[in-house]
């Protein structure tokens, strides 16, 4: 059996901390060879230095003993850098605060809440002002350039455009959308909100701050509901498109039958008269 290891002294611990600040963690041989620390750490091996530094870091993180000593600096050594202080000084034990979602961090700091999706769509259609309407890609690009939206906003946009068109708030032309002609005459001026009053969004976030799992569950449920609505509307659009293509196929088949009949009559030398109907 080898000689029992001696307990670390405060001078050795201080020398180890100073060596890590100077050379960095993991440079154990360099710390041992440094003339500033070698007289104090001469009886310690690089394995001893590594194990002791792991124990010091474990204690400083708050997982070890509750009594953590702040390292003392002896002699006229230079003041440690902020990164070294953050590495050595223990963090206070406290309950982790719930963080706000990424979208909430991007909220403007002027106290105004972001506009709703319906207002965004109306603004986009009013600014684009295309006579034949604007397609969903143009509307999406306009909104993303001026507002911070969720990554799944495209699905929300599809569902919202469908609901606005069904309620006759906007006009759908093929796959494009535009405002009705009477929109400019009956649209009221937007009411300015008082920045001093807290918004409903900020109140809701404040209520859920202490229970972030509930907020995450609510957000996930909202995304799933919107996703289901968007898929339902997509399925409806695809069904309507399939019915339109089927009708075109039936009309084409009828025209082909008529063309074959006319061709057979022409081969037999018969005179065929085609009467064109005009829409009154």
> Dmax over Cα atoms in the chain, in whole Å?
122
Does residue 262 register a pLDDT over 60? yes
Spatial distance between the Cα atoms of 245 and 240, rounded to a whole number of angstroms: 9
DSSP string, 66-77: S--PPPP--SSP
For 57-71, write each residue's pLDDT tens digit.
Answer: 877 655 444 444 544
Cβ–Cβ < 8 Å for 27, 2: no
The partner residues of 178 in beta bridges, in order of sequence, read 171
**Domain 115-178 sits in CATH 3.90.550.10:** no
H-only helix segments in the chain: 10-23, 28-33, 38-41, 46-60, 82-88, 102-105, 117-128, 136-146, 153-166, 183-186, 200-208, 212-267
10-61 with 115-178: one CATH topology? yes
What residue segments make up the domains of the chain, in order of their start? Answer: 10-61, 115-178, 217-279
Q: How far is CA 258 from CA 251, 262, 267, 270, 274, in A?
A: 11, 6, 14, 15, 10
Q: How far is CA 210 from CA 74, 204, 260, in A?
A: 44, 11, 76
Q: Which of 174, 177, 165 is nearest to 134 (CA)?
A: 177
H-only helix segments in 96-152: 102-105, 117-128, 136-146
User: Token match 């201080």: residue?
Assistant: 14
- The two tokens of residue 61 are 């993180």
Q: In this predicted structure, what is the pLDDT of residue 190? A: 54
Q: Is 134 helix (H, G, I), strand (E, B) or coil?
A: strand
For 124-146, write each residue's pLDDT tens digit.
Answer: 888 988 888 899 899 989 998 88
For 2-53, write each residue's pLDDT tens digit.
Answer: 456 678 899 988 988 998 999 888 888 898 888 888 888 888 888 888 888 8
**Class in CATH terms, 10-61:** mainly alpha
Q: In this predicted structure, what is the pLDDT of residue 231? A: 85
- pTM here is 0.29
CB-neighbour burial class of residue 27 (10 A; exposed 0-12, middle 13-18, buried 19+): middle
């Amino acid at each position: 059996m080898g000689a029992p290891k001696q307990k670390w002294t405060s001078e050795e611990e201080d020398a180890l901390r100073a060596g890590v600040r100077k050379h960095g963690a993991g440079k154990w041989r360099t710390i041992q060879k440094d003339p500033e620390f070698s007289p104090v750490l001469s009886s310690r091996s690089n394995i001893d230095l590594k194990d002791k530094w792991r124990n010091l870091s474990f204690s400083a993180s708050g997982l070890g003993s509750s009594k953590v000593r702040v390292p003392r600096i002896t002699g006229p050594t230079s003041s440690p850098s902020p990164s070294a202080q953050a590495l050595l000084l223990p963090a206070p034990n406290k309950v982790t605060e719930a963080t706000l979602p990424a979208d909430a961090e991007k909220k403007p700091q002027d106290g105004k809440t972001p506009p709703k999706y319906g207002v965004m769509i109306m603004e986009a259609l009013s600014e684009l002002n295309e006579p034949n309407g604007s397609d969903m890609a143009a509307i999406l690009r306009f909104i993303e350039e001026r507002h911070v939206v969720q990554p799944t906003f495209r699905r929300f946009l599809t569902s919202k455009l469908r609901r606005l068109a069904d309620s006759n708030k906007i006009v759908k032309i093929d796959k494009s959308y535009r405002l009705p002609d009477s929109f400019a005459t009956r649209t009221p001026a937007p009411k300015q909100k008082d920045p001093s009053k807290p918004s409903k969004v900020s109140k809701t976030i404040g209520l859920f701050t202490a229970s972030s799992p509930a907020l995450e569950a609510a957000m996930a449920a909202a995304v799933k509901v919107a996703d289901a609505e968007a898929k339902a509307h997509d399925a409806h659009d695809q069904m309507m498109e399939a019915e339109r293509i089927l009708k075109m196929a039936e009309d084409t088949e009828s025209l082909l039958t008529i063309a074959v009949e006319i061709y057979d009559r022409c081969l037999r030398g018969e005179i065929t008269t085609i009467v064109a109907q005009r829409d009154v």
